[in-house]
Amino acid sequence: MTFCTALVPLYSIIVSIFLIYVWQKNVVVEVVEVKVGVVAVEVVVVRVVVVVVAVVVEVVVVVVVEVGLVVVVVVVVVVVVVVVVVVIVVVVVIVVVLVVVVVVVVAVVVVVVVVVVGILVVVVVVVVVVVVVVIVVVVVVVVVLVVVVVVLVAVVVVVVVEEVVVVVVVVVVVVVVVVVVVVVVVVVVVVVVVVVVVVVVVVVVVVVAVVVVVVLSECLERILASLAIFIRKRVTYQINICGIQISYLHR
């Protein structure tokens, strides 16, 4: 039996006491006025009307109280359900917005990383091309210098020594020296290019990893902070109507 249902017997007791009081008054009046005759009949009629009206009022009040409380409970339940649905919808919208923000941030990070990597790749290609051009220029210059030296040595040998064999030997030695020098220069330049490329690639990977970690950490921290603020700002409401306790969260 709820509190609302318990009100009805209490009201019935009050109405019954009132009816007994009215009945006694009417009986007294009736006994006093029996001698009049017509007035006694009128008193009886009044007494019956009072009783009927009291019973009708009791029934109407009981019906109104019961129906009214049911309506109030239904309205409160509907309001609570609507509030809970609104809170759920708000939470879902916030989660969706956060997911969209994360996706956008990740997309921006990816685009930035791609652009940075593209720029670094272009820089690496330019560096490699420049190094190759320098290698070619150095090799050409060395070859030209060797040829000039060989020609000069040959001329000097022919003029001074006047022996062809000596000239041939000198030319062979000079050519061997030139080839060795060119090979050494090429190897050194290739090693330098490889080292530069490796260093640039490592730097690119480290920079990209740091950027991704920093951006994602910042984004995740902001999301968690937003959720924490949202949770802290929610207030718990409790409604107790007719023994029914309803709790819901509201921001």
Contact assessment for residue 125 and residue 196, using Cβ atoms and an 8 Å cutoff: no
pLDDT-derived band at 13 (thresholds 50, 70, 90) equals: low
The 10s digit of each residue's pLDDT in 43-52 is 444 455 555 5
Whether the pTM exceeds 0.85: the reply is no
Label each residue of 41-79 as H, E or C.
Answer: HHHHHHHHHHHHHHHHHHHHHHHHHHHHHHHHHHHHHHH
The 10s digit of each residue's pLDDT in 39-98 is 544 444 445 555 555 555 555 555 555 555 556 666 767 777 777 777 777 777 777 777
Q: Please report, rounded to a whole number, the percentage of residues in the chain having pLDDT higher than 70.
A: 43
Tell me: pLDDT of 130 over 70. Answer: yes
CA–CA separation, 64 vs 170, rounded Å?
130
Decide: helix, strand or coil at residue 238.
strand
Instruction: Label residue 165 exposed, middle or buried (CB < 10 Å: 0-12, 13-18, 19+).
Output: exposed
Give the pLDDT score at 21.
55
